[in-house]
Amino acid sequence: MGHDMLMVGVDGGGTGTRAVLITPGGRCLGYGVAGRGNPISAGVAPAAAAVLTAVRSAMASAGCRLSDVSVIVAAQAGQPASGEGTESLRDLLRSAGFGGTVRFESDLLATYFSGTADDSGYAVVSGTGACAIRVVGGRIDAAADGLGWLLGDRGSGFWIGQRVAKAAIRDLDGAGPATALTRDLLEHLGIAPEASRGGGRPPSLEQLVGVLYGKPPIELASFAPLAFRSAEDPVASGILRRAGEHLADSLAAVLAGPGPLVVGGGVLFRPGPVREAFVRRLGDAAADLDLRAVEDGVVGAGLLALRTGGHPVTTETLDRLADAVARVR
């Protein structure tokens, strides 16, 4: 198989890494998955290892070797275009037998191109983190949020999960309204909902606080599904509505006219209260946007690999690759 005929696109996120092996025409030859590929949340070395594992899995499914590949595009959340993480991954790929070009792209741009082949438009991603971008000429022209769990990521899975935890804490502490989220979170963490002893705090509150402080902060994102599960609960409903409004506000900060709007990430991808609140908050501006939901950025990473290899990208190429990936997921 010709060395210059194969390319790999990698989408490395906070919850998992996906890789797709493609031909210049956008035909999918292989697909692989691995663990977390975000160098910030997973660490530089584990993120690089996850990328290599996903790439090898995609290669194995097609009976190919790394020496058959000319281009690898890694679209990793939290990964700049240069620095320690890039060199770590380059060195790892070289040691595994790869001798071609490695290019690093934004995971946000990969999400954008997973939904459209247009060179200009918008994307809003809400997974573990959250960010809105404006794309012009195939590159990111402006961005809003994406500032990380401590300072931003409003409307993200972390943002929702943290508020689920806070709502349960306030309920147990008697400082907030009763909510089904309390029961769901205690059950999720295997904590018995015990009553208060005398004038002290409920043992379940003490246990919950201890468990939460014992976790890396980013892991609070795993509580976000509890809010969707209890969406009829007034507290959960309010959290989800506010998440959608935050995401719309981030998009409004970069909005400059009509165009395709690609939405991705586990929070905004699914139809439901967050997306409904998102569209309501946009108001009249929503009418000028062609909303397209995508599951992740692996298809776009594949298109970015094609562009890096000098191959044309069309709507037909996108559709062909998206259909193929949907069949092998």
The predicted-structure confidence for 239-274, as pLDDT tens digits, reads as follows 999 999 999 999 999 999 999 999 998 898 888 999
Residues in Cβ contact with 11 at an 8 Å cutoff, skipping those fewer than 6 apart: 17, 18, 19, 37, 75, 107, 110, 296, 297, 298, 300, 301
* Separation CA 319–CA 329 (nearest Å): 15
* Separation CA 13–CA 107 (nearest Å): 8
Distances (CA, A) of 288 to 116, 274, 292: 16, 20, 13
The predicted-structure confidence for 128-144, as pLDDT tens digits, reads as follows 889 999 999 999 999 99
Distance of CA 320 to the CA centre of its chain: 22
Q: For the chain, how long is the longest CA-to-CA vector? A: 75
pLDDT at 1: 43
pLDDT at 78: 61
- Phi first, then psi: give them for residue 321, nearest 5 degrees: -70, -40
Angle between helices 273-282 and 234-252 (to 10 degrees): 40
The secondary structure of residue 149, as a DSSP letter, is: T
* Residues listed for the chain: 329
- Would you give per-residue pLDDT tens digits along the chain (329 residues)? 444 589 999 998 777 899 999 998 888 999 999 988 777 777 888 888 899 999 999 999 888 888 889 999 999 876 555 455 578 888 888 988 888 899 999 989 999 999 999 999 999 999 888 999 999 999 999 999 999 889 999 999 999 999 999 999 999 999 999 999 999 999 999 998 875 555 578 889 999 999 999 999 989 999 999 999 999 999 999 999 999 999 999 999 999 999 999 999 889 888 899 999 999 999 999 999 999 999 889 999 999 999 999 998 999 999 999 998 888 87
* Cα distance from N-terminal residue to C-terminal residue, the chain: 25
- pTM of the complete model beyond 0.75: yes
pLDDT at 83: 52
List strand residue ranges (DSSP E) for 96-248, in order. 101-105, 121-126, 130-136, 139-145
pLDDT at 241: 97
Please name each of the domains of the chain with its CATH number: 3-105+297-328 (3.30.420.40), 118-180+216-295 (3.30.420.40)
